[in-house]
Structure 1
């Protein structure tokens, strides 16, 4: 274009820049912009803002600021779009604090008039970064100014509140926007419905659906897909399927997410053949399955023990021009290992790394569990060290798997050492790990060392449960320490815990031949499961 005579107008250049930017060809757009500057081609606000946006999209917000500074020296004033673009660039570059500071500077120094897009950018950026409280405070601060948040800003904050479980706060904001005369749109309702479904408040969901009908806000595919997904997770797959038919009848076109929810629902119920039927109907509607679709089906086959069919699907994925995800590999690896096909699971892990699909902590936990199940404790300890060296942070489940494997394979001292190191790693033992260690300590030391651990559990807001007490009683009875078990049976009665069948059977062995008024028999009745007591 630079060789053309006469030179194209700035509007022609702007159209080229705009189109290439929308195609995500940011580097090419910047190359054209650079040629314009070198040739002295006139530029306007639109041109400059496109260039700044391209730098921001490439996560070079520093060059975006440099571009603004360059034109500022030439006498061009940045406008609201310029600052909105830079703020968004800072969020994209995960410089959340800097983005908030820039917005505050715009307001305090009156650098420009903040418009709705700028306000939305800040609220949405803070929410996506998990900064809900700052977003909430900023939002209410703006309400007291002349820059009132619009429905899109309300939607962003409501969505952020719902996604962090603060549904009551979202409901309050929802009511407030109506009181202020701002009508919720379908996006508002969808965020609220998703948040309420996540916390199982279905009565409130029904109320909102009725409100949508009363306010003439039509349901869209997101509304009904959210309901379908909730039905499926609750095991109400037939209701979800009926809802799919309603969507089609009302000319609301189900999308791939809709079908994925239904496929996953059938897979969770073990009805793989029905899931396949849904897949076929999805393809008949010219919707292409995604990797999520295949992940659900592979998971369904694995849970039913149909590994060979899962493996056929796994191999079929590249033919569908899809790429295996970490979740795909994790599901298949877990399927192999859960069916004692550890060698195949480990081979698949090697293939995963060779194809540069990044393993996550779930991958490592599954493999570690496989090593422990196969009695390969030394290899498991070495693998745990490898995980730590790679910079992956093992979670409490990782160490739980390792401690369990060590306990079952007689490596008691090593298990205790790992348990003692958890606080220094910033991890709080969960109830399962405490129970494992308590069982271990009773076996190798004595019940006296367990009592401080029970107190510690209470202090850490991780109180012992029925399983913990059953494990303690069983361990003591195995050591023929009935007298030491009695105080724990009393505690079980006070906490309204019941003995499980294994504990109860061991206690019965102890009282055979005893009189009916025997103290232990009375204690047994106190912890006896109610259904047994009635019989």
Structure 2
């Protein structure tokens, strides 16, 4: 008797049909209809099947009635009962046929409760035991998978159909391609496109345009070229609207000159460019700062009789403002008005934002008046442009006043404007006020974003009101995703700086319970915390975890770790960490080398000092003031003041002015050696270079032995008076 399972662990689909190809026993067990087809010599199986028929069907039922009953049960989703009637047809000579199987599949796929595993196993049973699937079988399955939204399965069926010598219709494949593009399955969309080309089918222009647009959006440039080349090689050419997305994709990915080549190829093929084509190139040239090419393209656009659009001009104005060239932007604004191309609010908002950044408030007021006279009304983007510009230039009070006026007047503003206002309030230590406004905003039906919450969280942390920040993190109604990793990092950073262990544990526990994964910022905060509390064991474990998971500490964290290890006498471990991270592709900076050089100088390890200095040069890093200071200090401690002086000369040759700390180190070394004439010479250099002596300098000069020697020479005495005058000043 047929036994259908009530549930399945894996979901079977045509994409995994190869997995059931070896399961002969499984198919026959679930679908006894195939027993007769698979083994005619199995009299026992046949007898059992006949017993089953005797119990469940009327031998006098006609084939037509059985067929209708099977379809009825299949249409209602009762697949088991439908199979009972299909089994019963075996009493009728020559039945069931492939058309009966097709009718079963068609009716069941039209029902509202399809279990795909049943369909797959019936199809596979037909493949193995017969009746062999025909063209109708494949079309039923293909259309059924399309209606159910199983697009990958539809594609697999289409491929099997072609493999079986049948031809899927152009309409069916076009539907598969279109639906795959709509759900964003670009990889399989390319597969369908290749299959269509194989069958000499060519996608409609809307489908082709959508395919190219989607590929361009995903930056799949190689696939775009493949599609275009495949069509061109078969003599198919389309209008500019098909190729324009490629121009845009190339220009957005920094390949403006490649886009220009495509532009001229299109022109040679007689494809007429439109405003979108030229605007794409203008965008690309502006993005890459190729102003000569941009202006050349604009001139060609106008000479070809194609009028620049508002979007074209706005793009140019935006890039000019991005470089701070507000005068040029205003010239283009005037050009737009002169040529009858009316600017829109997007154009004005770009210019307003840049005027605010340059603190040209009189021009802001003038432009706002002009906008109002033209019948435009400021929108949310206008307020964001003004508020954001004022905020960036530090005019927080003016920004607060402006945005408060906008909000209290009842002007429509979006979450972005509120976020700028929250930022302003929190900068003025008014985080509680920001939180009150956030609650009011929610009461009015405007849902804040995580940026809103995180801005206020940061404000409370800046005010050292950590308890309020934690309350906001735990108790406030966030959006459906809850606090994100930035939220937790905001509090974690403060907790780590303040070395508050219990608070760190609380944040980490909340982060874990919220299902949020710590990121590199979180781990960097913890490493710096462990360094502060000198817990190097956990610190190194965390560092190892980061490197094993493909992450790296920031250079600041790395240097904090090196400095802490060296400060605690763990120079050997610091060196191992340095080498380990170098091997993982991490690049230390000058500070990293300086920390280790200074530590090895203190230990008297000249071999390692020389090795690090040479390594520093090989990495393209030049010693800085701190490097030279450490090396000179080490030489002076060894009593090699003359070598240290040569190093000072090297510093000057490299354009570095020695600090007073370096001069004091040299003076101290000369005093210890009793070379007072060298002290006098160095003092002259010090004064001539404009380096101001400090208390340490005068302490060395006022030592009895040094003072006594200086009194013997009139020249030295006068110079000493000059140095004393520097002290008085």
TM range (shorter): 0.7 to 0.9
Cα deviation, residue 102, structure 1: 2.9
Match of 2:604 in 1: 410
- Residue number in structure 2 paired with 1:176: 331
Is residue 464 from structure 1 mapped to residue 657 from structure 2 by the alignment? yes
The one-character-per-residue Cα deviations of 1:85-134 (angstroms, maximum 9, x if unpaired) are 33455567x67376355356348747644445444544555666xx43x3
Contact 2:352 2:386 in 1 (8 A): no
Moved more, 242-251 or 334-343: 242-251
**Aligned CA distance change for structure 1 residues 342 and 12 (closer, same or farther; 3 Å):** same
1:372 aligns with 2:584: no
Q: Is the 8 A contact 1:371 1:379 kept in 2?
A: yes
Deviation at 1:425, TM superposition (A): 2.0
Aligned match of 1:4: 143
- Measured in 2, the distance between the counterparts of 1:281 and 1:222 equals 29
**Partner of 1:340 in structure 2?**
534
CA contact (8 A) 1:171 1:192 kept: no
Residue 291 of structure 1: how far off its partner (Å) = 2.5
Take 1:492 and 1:143, find their aligned partners in 2: how far apart are those partners? 59
Corresponding residue for 1:77? Answer: 237
CA deviations on 1:33-86 (whole Å, 9 max, x unpaired) are 456556666522221233234445565423321211221233321433443333
Q: Deviations over 1:347-371 (max 9, x none)?
A: 2223334544454545544433343
**2:211 maps to what in 1?**
51
Tell me the C-alpha RMSD between the 2 structures: 4.6
Please name the residue that 2:546 is paired with. 352
**1:223 matches 2:385:** yes
For residues 331-353 of structure 1, what are the alpha-carbon distances to aligned partners after superposition, in whole Å with 9 as ceiling and x for unaligned? 22122213423222222223334
Aligned partner of 1:473 in structure 2 is 664
What is the DSSP-based 3-state SS (H/G/I as helix, E as strand, rest coil) of the residue aligned with 1:146? helix
Q: Is the 1:458–1:464 contact (alpha carbons within 8 Å) kept by the matching residues of 2?
A: yes
Say how many residue pairs are matched: 507
Aligned partners of 1:324, 1:187: CA distance in 2, in Å?
40
Which range moves more in the overlay, 286-295 or 64-73? 286-295
Deviations 1:146-189 (A, max 9, x none): 257655556556666776xx43xx32432232232264754775
For the structure 1 residues 238 and 211, does the alpha-carbon distance in structure 2 shift closer, same or farther, using more than 3 Å as the test?
closer
State the distance in 1 between where 2:534 and 2:484 align: 29
Shift of 1:416: 3.7
Displacement of 1:242: 6.9
Secondary structure (helix, strand or coil) at the match of 1:427 reads coil
Asked if 1:64 is matched to 2:224, the reply is yes
TM-score (structure 2 length as normaliser):
0.57
Q: Could you tell me how far apart the structure 2 residues matched to 1:325 and 1:191 are?
A: 37
Question: Larger deviation: 415-424 or 279-288?
Answer: 279-288
Structure-2 change in CA distance of 1:296 and 1:441 (3 Å)? farther
Tell me, which stretches of 5 or more residues in structure 1 are unaligned? none
Q: 8 Å contact 1:80–1:112 — kept in the other structure?
A: yes
CA 1:334–1:193 in 2, change beyond 3 Å: closer, same or farther?
farther
Match for residue 578 of structure 2 among 375, 380, 384: 384
CA separation in 2, counterparts of 1:497 and 1:265? 42
Q: Which residue of structure 2 aligns with residue 310 of structure 1?
A: 504
SS of residue paired to 2:656: coil
The answer (yes or no) to whether the contact 2:286–2:316 under 8 Å persists in 1 is yes
Give the whole-Å Cα distance in 2 for the aligned partners of 1:444 and 1:185.
71
1:20 to 170, 183, 187: 183
Q: Is the 8 A contact 1:507 1:524 kept in 2?
A: no
- Residues 272 and 247 of structure 1, relative CA distance in 2, 3 Å threshold: farther
Would the aligned equivalents of 1:404 and 1:436 in 2 still touch at CA under 8 Å? yes
Distance in 2 between residues matched to 1:240 and 1:299, nearest whole Å: 28
Note closer, same or farther for the CA distance 1:489–1:190 as it changes in structure 2 (3 Å cut): farther
Aligned to 2:164: none
Q: Match for residue 721 of structure 2?
A: 522
Q: Contact (CA 8 Å) 2:489, 2:522: kept in 1 or not?
A: yes
5+ residue gaps, structure 2:
1-138, 145-168, 338-342, 372-376, 420-448
The answer to whether the aligner puts 1:137 opposite 2:292 as a matched pair is: yes
Q: 1:14 to 1:420 in 2, by over 3 A?
A: closer
- Is the contact made by 1:375 and 1:409 (CA closer than 8 Å) also made in structure 2? no
- Which shifted more, 468-477 or 115-124? 115-124
Q: Which residue of 1 aligns with 2:261?
A: 102
The structure that has the greater radius of gyration is 2
